[in-house]
Amino acid sequence: MSEPVVMCEGLVHVYLRGTPFESVALRGVDLVIRRGECLGLVGPTGSGKSTLVQHFNGLLRPTEGRVRVGGVEVRPGSNLRDVRRKVGLLFQYPEHQLFEATVFDDVAFGPRNLGLAPDEVRARVRESLQWVGLDPDRFGPRSPFSLSGGEMRRVAIAGVLAMRPEVLVLDEPTAGLDPEGRRELLGRVRDLHRRAGLTVVLISHRMDDVARLCQRVVVLHQGRVFLDAPVREAFAQADELRSIGLDVPRATDVLLRLRAAGLPVRCDRLTVEEACEEIARVIRGNRSWSSSGA
Amino acid sequence: MELLRSLTLGQYVPRASPVHRLDPRTKILATTVLMVVVFLVKDFRGLGLFGAFLAAAVALSQVPAGFVLRGLRPIWFLLLLTLVLQVFFGGGGGSTVLWRLGPFVATREGLVQGLFVTARLVLLVVSTSLLTFTTSPVELADGMERLLWPFRRLGVPAHELAMMMTIALRFIPTLVEETEKIMKAQMARGAELDTGGPLRRARALVPILVPLFVSAFRRAEELAVAMEARGYRGGEGRTRMKQLRYRAQDLWAALVVLGTNALVLWSGRL
């Protein structure tokens, strides 16, 4: 097992403590994220996902409990610059944070804040734009506000990647994108994880995306870890997930229904391709069912 | 980073108190009466009576006293300045010298006058904030609209004013949230918002203000379309889901307010 990059122990977060608007977002979360893994963070709306990931780069500080990022404890007074450099956080609808006159300058915002030399900044901007599939020469000089929604989002992601984080946290990165844009974006994330060795935390309501990308799933519910398991084990617990308003990937859902209808398929298949193979395997090995059932 | 959340703008404190249940028009008019009376009162006895009445109203409203006092925080400097200025210059050529500071003379009359003016300011702020503590922004706008309604023949755009106020109030929390989100996003990209000299800090605002303006305009456009799509065409012939209605409690509240304030004014004439 590789070393832990993010560790939470008994993490509690209370917003506006001591006012009439006090609300408890996290009630004791224990979580370890290891280098190089791709983690899916799911949970119903208001379960504390966004609050949790904001602790990973020191934007929020624990009310109680401890958070360590790459060996540095996140608390008032600790060196949060290093923490922010280690963990890149991409908020929902990140295209709303674009502000510069050109795409190049916007992506360069982070590296310039790090105080890098102009050559290094240029190199990082080009590299980051290429990572997200935008041609630096063609898009660099354009205004970010003249781009399409999907392109703007990719510019925003490049802006975070230009910080060269070790951990990339993506909060609902595909919300509002069309199917093509979603496939494209998830492909890019998968490349970053596999080729660049980035540790990825993906927050998503789309279980299909989580199943396709992640090796491990953490389910948050009412500010606590409800389930923390490898992706196949996690989605095998369909009833538990449904009891808190979540779902399983569509392919798994089809297999579960087939099984309920009497076809002896295994249900720990997560993608459409895997499900097809599984159904084909069972039908081929079970002629009697296919002749009587079809 | 919770700085923005703790901002108490439109500082409504939801409670189920008798004060909260009053018609907003009653509360607006009562507050107007209080504001006039607090300036008419001429002596400490009147101010004391007024203060006692206000304290009773705060207690009845179930708004924590600490919350009410916290509302004074933004103006403490103004209060202090008023007090100091009055101590030195407010004596009106009074004779009882307390102490001298170079050419400035602090008089006993000045001190008394200073305490009086400061107390008056505190009571003024507390009485107006009691209105915003106990009346939700929407109720407040509704109440204003109904009160201004008779003046629309004189060209007062009552409905438009109320609608603008409602929308502005409605979007304060949204914009605060948006600001917080953008600040966090830029901080995640290494922006440092609270270091450096004034020029650097001012420049650090650009990455926050530009996206904020862009999104405010986008929201405004979306809101306009959404309102038109639901047939909004101004106040003419518009009905409301929540009708404002005077009830017995409003009559009683009005009588109590008028009675106590008459007493406050009368006590000054003894």
- What does the pLDDT look like over A152-172, one tens digit per residue? 999 999 999 999 999 999 999
CA-nearest residue of chain A to B63?
A20
A199 and B CB contact within 8 Å: no
* Cβ distance of B189 and A110 shorter than 8 Å: yes
H/E stretch holding A219: strand A216-221
Could you report the predicted ipTM of this complex, rounded to two decimals? 0.83
A97 and B CB contact within 8 Å: yes
Q: How high is the pLDDT of residue A78?
A: 72
A144 and B CB contact within 8 Å: no
CA-nearest residue of chain A to B206?
A99
A-chain CB neighbours of B206 within 8 Å are: 99
Percent of chain A clearing pLDDT 70 (strictly above): 96
Q: What is the mean pLDDT of residues A258-262?
A: 89
Closest partner CB to A94 (pick from B185, B208, B214): B185
Tell the burial category of B120 from Cβ atoms under 10 Å away from its Cβ (0-12, 13-18, 19+). middle
A-chain CB neighbours of B207 within 8 Å are: 97, 99, 109
Q: Alpha carbon A235 to chain centroid distance? A: 17
The first and second tokens of residue B59, run together, are 């207690």
pLDDT digits (tens, 9 = 90+) for A61-89: 899 999 999 888 887 777 777 888 889 99
Question: What distance in Å separates the CA atoms of residue B122 and residue B127, rounded to the nearest whole number?
Answer: 9
The first and second tokens of residue A119, run together, are 């050559």
Total-model pTM:
0.73
Question: What distance in Å separates the CA atoms of residue B218 and residue B238, rounded to the nearest whole number?
Answer: 27
CA-nearest residue of chain A to B209?
A99
* Cβ distance of B211 and A96 shorter than 8 Å: yes
H/E stretch holding B230: none
Closest partner CB to A97 (pick from B2, B6, B211): B211
Gap between the terminal Cα atoms of chain B? 55
Other beta carbons within 10 Å of A76: 7
Distance from CA of B183 to the nearest CA of A (A): 9
CA-nearest residue of chain A to B213?
A99
User: E-strand spans in chain B?
Assistant: 97-101, 104-107
Mutate which: A87, A96, A98, vs B, most B CBs within 10 A: A96
Q: How high is the pLDDT of residue B212?
A: 92
Contacts across the A-B interface (CB distance below 8 Å): 69
Q: Which residues fall within 8 angstroms of residue A219, CB to CB, at 6 or more apart?
A: A42, A43, A225, A226, A227, A228, A234, A241, A244, A246
Q: How high is the pLDDT of residue B5?
A: 47
* Cβ distance of B181 and A16 shorter than 8 Å: no
Pairing of strands A216-221, A4-15: unpaired
A15 and B CB contact within 8 Å: yes
Asked if residue A155 lies in contact with residue A106, where contact means CB atoms within 8 angstroms, the answer is yes
Question: What distance in Å separates the CA atoms of residue B159 and residue B17, rounded to the nearest whole number?
Answer: 29
Mutate which: B5, B189, B213, B222, vs A, most A CBs within 10 A: B189
154-193 of B, contacting A, C-beta below 8 A: 178, 181-182, 184-192
B206 and A CB contact within 8 Å: yes
Other beta carbons within 10 Å of B155: 6
Question: What distance in Å separates the CA atoms of residue B209 and residue B193, rounded to the nearest whole number?
Answer: 12
A89 and B CB contact within 8 Å: yes
CA distances to B16, B41, B61 from B55, rounded to whole Å, are 18, 17, 10
* Cβ distance of B184 and A91 shorter than 8 Å: yes
User: What are residue A6's DSSP bridge partners?
Assistant: A33, A69
Q: How high is the pLDDT of residue B270?
A: 65
Length in residues, chain B:
270
DSSP state, B197? -
In the three-class reduction of DSSP (H, G, I as helix; E, B as strand; rest coil), residue A229 is classed as: strand
Other beta carbons within 10 Å of A14: 16
Asked if residue A269 lies in contact with residue A255, where contact means CB atoms within 8 angstroms, the answer is yes
pLDDT in tens, chain B (270 residues): 444 444 444 578 888 999 999 999 999 999 999 999 999 998 898 999 999 999 999 999 998 888 888 778 878 888 999 888 888 887 666 667 777 777 778 888 888 888 999 999 999 999 998 998 899 888 888 898 889 888 888 888 888 888 888 888 778 878 888 898 899 899 888 887 777 778 888 888 889 999 999 999 999 999 999 999 998 888 777 888 778 888 899 999 999 999 999 998 888 776
Question: What distance in Å separates the CA atoms of residue B268 and residue A277, rounded to the nearest whole number?
Answer: 94
